[in-house]
Structure 1
Amino acid sequence: MGLETILFDAQSGVARITLNRPDRLNSFNTMMHGELAGVLDEVAGRDDLRTVLLTGAGRGFCAGQDLSDRAVAAGAEPVDLGDSVDRYYAPLIRRLTTLAKPVICAVNGVAAGAGANIALACDIVIAARSAKFIQSFANIGLIPDSGGTWILPRLVGQARALGLALTGDPLPAETAAEWGLIWKCVDDAALMDEAGALAERFASGPTRGYAETKRLIRGAWSRSLDAELDLERDAMRELGRSDDYREGTAAFLAKRKPVFTGR
């Protein structure tokens, strides 16, 4: 695909995407936004790719926006950061959260600013013990974008969300796991094995069931229990007609491992 800022590998149903600007802690510039959007669009359109594993090259996951890409200096003309959010960051968060396939993020080091919130937008976050999550926006007079103001209070509550957002203090991965901000913290050496094994499990699992689970849980914040019960009924009706449900049930009764096709 001629990619310069990310690495993309597709094997055995897993789309492995690596942010690849290690000299800049994988911070985003315009090219990286464009390349990542293109790859995620390709993944969305390919039935053979059934899960995504996102990580970063080098010693960090992502330091957010590459500020040198904007060339902002004291006394310079103001820039429209809202345009940047609208053009790049908001569409990326929407792609990750609405992709009808599980998205795993392996946080291999610092995840700061938008980088932290991009990680948290993924369905399952596994972090190396040395990793840190930093809501660094306050240090330059901004607010947590890329969904930060929405996801933080929902995951850790208002008190902790405000503490993280207003202080910009680093949150160690182990504490992030204890608070329920991420799924799991593992030893650095085990990170990619753990994340890879989970990706392979999802790639051979019941893809439609995963997609409906993701859709319902992610949308539940805005619905009543009655509305959710109706949506659960509809999803169960549809999934009950799937090949994967029939295979899963047959395998359970026969005491064998199911062979799911994602259909």
Structure 2
Amino acid sequence: MDVNGLSAVVTGGASGLGAATARALAAKGAKVAIFDLNVEAGEAIAREIGGVYCEANVTSDDSTDAAFASARAAIGQERILINCAGIGPAAKTVSRSREDGSIKHYPMAQFNTIIQVNLVGTFRCIAKSAAGMVTLDPLESGERGAIVNTASVAAEDGQVGQAAYSASKGGIVGMTLPIARDLMGEAIRVNTILPGIFETPLMLGMPQNVIDSLGASVPFPKRLGKPPEYAMLALHLIENPYFNGEDIRLDGAIRMAPR
């Protein structure tokens, strides 16, 4: 699929992996709509790349519907969807207070929020985007569209405190092939990337010694991944017509330790 001239939606496109992917798509001539809750950052990226910003809460049908309607009014029906929206707060399943020895379990509201944003939000955007893609005529390649999701190595190597996050990302991995099969008759491909430790705003907010330690734990190259490296793979999954139903780690060969 040649992205030049095609319309694309990037969720979580105001920062990190999503922003890098939005820039990479625009650099190749795609018309890009950025879905995000961060209005200031989203509008700034949209101005930078000549795209459009659409405020979107992926946990809400109404908000997501409005964002897709706004994007399609501005740049047309998208053939490309990149799902990068996600959150990752951590808490142990059961923990003991150091002060008084009291026991508490994982806050269920937080568990549900992570699942709703990361897993259900990803599926919501896939379903709504694909429903629009099927209305399009196939391209010369025979394709109608292509979708890339963002999981995490935590789907396979979840660390202490990542039960909810790992469950949400494991769900994305688990649904990739079934969705690709659901959409095979409509000529829409679906793939998922499992990033390792990347230079996202969350990571870059940590102390430098922690960042250095995390980078040193990567077999090679011994550093955090860079968002443009994620974007490179996302674009390849869009452009290579034989990639479908795959879950691909992008992690410098790291296998996460328990902590």
Normalising by structure 1, we get a TM-score of 0.31
In proportion to residue count, which structure has more helix? 1
User: Relative CO higher for 1 or 2, CA cutoff 8 Å, sep ≥ 6?
Assistant: 2
